[in-house]
Every structure is written in structure tokens, then in C-alpha cells.
Amino acid sequence: MEDTNSLSLEELVVDYSQEVEIDQISEIQYRDQDLSMPKNIEVQNEKNVVDVLESKLLVGTIMNDIEDDYLLYCQYAHAKGFSVRKGDQRCFSHTNELQSKEFNCSCEGSKDEKSSSKKIPVYQKLVTRTKCKAKLKITRERGGEWRVSRFFTEHNHEMFAPDQTYLLRSARNISYAKKSTLEAMVNAGISVSNAVSFMENEACGSENLGFIRKDAYDHMSRLKKHTKVENGDATGLVQYFINKANKENYFYWNVQLDDDDRVMNFFFRDYRCAVDYEYFGDVLSIDTTYRTNKYNLICAPFVGLNHHMQNVLFVLAFMSDETESSFEWLFRTFLDSMNGKQPETIFSDQCQAMMNAINTVFPHSHHRLCQWHINQNAPSHFGSLNGDSAFKKLWHKCMTYCESKDEFETT
């Protein structure tokens, strides 16, 4: 599929109507970066953690790949009390294949006095660059394995205290599950501040949450940008739908406008989608995980399974937000396009706004949470059990191999 950032809305609709790859009902693997302390290292104190991690980063040590090396160095840095920046990299000549990569202490380098001298300072910014030499460098031969070539451990500045390391920039990361929880609470009318407070209580303290309030505000601000469709693109989109409906008698489309008559959400399905829903519409999966295009619109496919256990697309919609009113409009439009036929079972994520709309529009359907989303959200409730491999195996067995409620409870 093409890079959708460069597509117009009309091209985007054509692109997705021709090929939509959604696999929510079957198991989906999603990897969040885990910047926390490694769970398989038994330690008695912070110094023991540092020693164990240093032994894994010695010069000559074979490394798996760049991303794993970065995460391991971050874990070492957070245990010791400093933050990490990705540094210089070098490629093999005449190719884009990486030959070496550096990860530096965030205090590496010095302030650019030349550029800053031309600016009038509004306030005295704290200088954090101290020309620190601490770094990790990995290299490889062409086609060979990554190895540690340099590992400098000496710093020329003070380290953060253990109870403050969660504030370090490289220690903070909003995982997919936590982003979903934050967005769902804000869309349900809860302020960002109150949502973060709730999540801090659930994590038993702000130091266990993995991000700070500023990160939450920044994330929500990014979501609000470019969500309204510009007039030129909106006109092209509507014209595309009109032309499509003129050529296909059973093509159905609809758009929702905001108070300024700008396109917020749009919805479409063709004749094949309607036929598939008539035969296979007893189970419906709604997925609002993915965002795409320059408007940061939410891609919301309605997907089911056919008699060959293959995914079939019933409807495709794009939404500018995940509020209860938007979901109600989407579901009522869906029912109208499918002659009022309600599904027997609906699978979705744990979005409160969506759950409220489902209860309102689909009162006779059974609403269930998607197994993938449960697996994504569950670790935030496990606490110390996240490091228990026996518990993880039992959890996987219960979630994957138990086919009845009684079997699940017994296991």
C-alpha cells in the first residue's frame, strides 16, 4: 500500500476500498517499547542492577539488533541515573545499510553559543550539555553481526537519584494501551489532568506510570491537529462519492458536518459489502486503532469473518474524533445502510464513548471486548506479576486455549 501521507482524501478512499488489511478478530501482535527495568534480572540494590547490565554491554559483546541495543542501554542508563540520546550513525559506502550507531548520554556535546548569541533570552535556560563522553557504540561488518565497539561509562556530571529517574526523557514512553486509555477517558469528557491522576492511582504512583503530565498533554494536542477536512479536499471527496453512486446503484455513502459545515466524519460501502453483511453479519468487529492521512483521521473499518475464516469488510469510515455523538452517528448510519439489521455480537476495544453508543444504537447485540485489546491493557493491572514467567504462561493459556467460561474459571 502507498504512503498515505501523500494521498488526497479521494485517493485515500479508493486505496482503502481496494485493499484493507485488518486482522482484529484473529490474534494480532503489537510491540510496545518497554523502557522499564528488565524483569528477568534478580537484584538486591541499584548497584547490582548496574553491574549486571554493564556486563551485557562490554566491548565485543554480540548484540541482536539496533532497537534491542537501544532499549538495553536505556535500561542501564535509567538504573544508573542518566538519560539517553540517539547519536551519530554511519552507513556502508554507496548504500543505505547501517554500519555503526551511537547512543550517547543526553549531556553529550555543548551549547551552540554562535546561534544562541543572536537571540534575546526571555529567561535563563538551564544548561544541560556538559561535554559528557559516556556512550555506547555498536558496529558490524557488511552482512555480519552487531557488536559493541565502544562503551564509555564515566560521566562528568551528577546522576539522578533512583526516585527521580522516571522523569528522564528516555525513560518516558506512552504505550499503545495507555494511549488508548487516555484518549478514551478524554473523549468521554474527563479532563487530561484527571485522566492522568486516575492512571497514576491505577499504577500505584506517578513513578510507575511511564510518562508525565506534559507527555499526556502533548499527545492529546497532536491528536487535535489537522482533524478537519479542508474545503477543497472535502469537495473532491463528495464528488467522488456522487460519481461512484451514479455508476453503482447500491453504493451507499454519508458524511457528517460540524457547526461550521466542515466535514468531520464520512462513511461508505459498496454492494459487495452489503451482500457479505447479509450472509456473515452475525459477528462484527469495530477497530479504531489506526490513524492515517495528513488530517490524522481515524480509520474505522467494520470487519467480519466469512465461511473460509477470512476477513470481510462490511463498511469503512473515517472519523475526526472518538466522541459518543460521532459513534452514534456512525452506528445509525451503518444500520441505515444495512436495512436495520443488527449484529448478534460486536467486538471492540474498551473505549467508553464507543461502548455507550453501542448500548444506545445496538440494544439487542452482545458487546464483547477484543482479545487483543485485553492483552494490551492487562499488563497495567498485573503489577509485580509482570515479571512472573509462570503467571504469564498461565495467562496465555487462559486467554488462548480455554473455549468456555467454566474451563476458563477452572484453569
- Give tens-digit pLDDT for 231-273: 677 888 888 899 999 998 899 999 988 777 778 889 999 999 9
- Is 184 part of a structural domain of the chain? no
Residues 6+ apart with CB under 8 A from 232: none
- Mean pLDDT over 120-141 rounds to 77
- Domain assignment present for residue 64? The answer is yes
Distance, CA of 248 to CA of 268 (rounded, Å): 12
Backbone angles phi, psi at 254, to 5 degrees: -160, 155
Claim to verify: residue 352 and residue 235 sit in the same structural domain = yes
pLDDT at 35 over 80: no
Output 336 or 116, whichever has higher pLDDT. 336
Compare 109 and 99 and report the one with higher pLDDT.
99
Residue 130 within a domain = yes
Confidence tier at 5 by pLDDT (50, 70, 90): very low
User: What pLDDT is attached to residue 113?
Assistant: 59
β-bridge mates for residue 309, sequence order = none
Distance CA 141, CA 143 (A): 6
* Residue 201 forms part of a structural domain: no
pLDDT for 25 beyond 50 = no
Residue 86 host element (H or E): strand 84-91
Verify that 18 and 76 share a domain, yes or no: no
Cβ pair 326, 265 in contact under 8 A: yes
Q: Quick one: 234 and 297 in the same domain?
A: yes
pLDDT score recorded for residue 345: 95
pLDDT of residue 87: 87
Is the entire prediction scored with pTM above 0.85? Answer: no
Residue scoring higher pLDDT (298 or 120): 298
Strand order in the sheet with 62-63: 62-63, 146-152, 135-139, 98-105, 84-91
Q: Of 60 and 47, which is predicted with more confidence? A: 60
**Do residues 74 and 171 lie in contact, with contact meaning Cβ atoms separated by under 8 Å?**
yes
Residue 316, SS3 per DSSP: strand
The phi and psi torsions of 166 (rounded to 5 degrees) equal -65, -15
Residues 296 and 396 in one domain: no
In this predicted structure, what is the pLDDT of residue 120? Answer: 54
- The model's pLDDT over 168-186, given as tens digits with 9 standing for 90+, comes to 888 888 888 888 888 888 8
Task: Give residue-wise pLDDT tens across range 312-363.
Answer: 999 999 988 888 889 999 999 999 999 999 999 999 987 888 999 999 999 9
Domain C-terminal end among 132, 147, 172: 172
**Is 285 part of a structural domain of the chain?**
yes
The pLDDT-based confidence of 188 (bands split at 50, 70, 90) is confident
Of residues 378 and 282, which shows the higher confidence score?
282
294 in the same domain as 247: yes
Say yes or no: 321 and 391 in one domain. no
Compute the distance between CA of residue 411 and CA of residue 402 in angstroms, rounded to an integer. 8
**Residue-level pLDDT at 254:** 92
Mean pLDDT value across the chain: 81
Q: Identify whether residues 22 and 47 lie together within a single domain.
A: no
Clarify whether residues 149 and 251 are in a common domain: no
**Total count of residues recorded for the chain:** 411
Angle at which helices 192-202 and 176-187 cross, to 10°: 130
Q: Compare 11 and 203 and report the one with higher pLDDT.
A: 203
3-state secondary structure of 137: strand
The answer as to whether 202 is a domain residue is no
- Which has the higher per-residue pLDDT, 122 or 320? 320
Residue 203 has pLDDT above 80, yes or no: yes
Q: What is the pLDDT of residue 285?
A: 94
Do 57 and 79 belong together in one domain?
Answer: yes
The pLDDT assigned to 363 comes to 92
Is residue 343 located within the same domain as residue 362? yes
How far, CA to CA in Å, does 175 sit from each of 37, 82, 275? 15, 21, 38
Q: What pLDDT, on a 0 to 100 scale, did the predictor assign at position 38?
A: 47
Same domain, 363 and 346: yes
- 166 and 241 share a domain? no
Whether 119 has a pLDDT exceeding 70, the answer reads no
From 137, 172, 207, give the residue that closes a domain.
172
The percentage of the chain sitting over the pLDDT mark of 90, rounded to a whole number, equals 30
Average pLDDT, stretch 267-286?
94
Question: 217 lies in a domain?
Answer: no
Please state the domain count of the chain. Answer: 3
Asked if the structure places residue 168 within a domain, the reply is: yes
pLDDT of 264 reads: 84
Q: What is the domain extent for residue 337?
A: 4-28+227-375
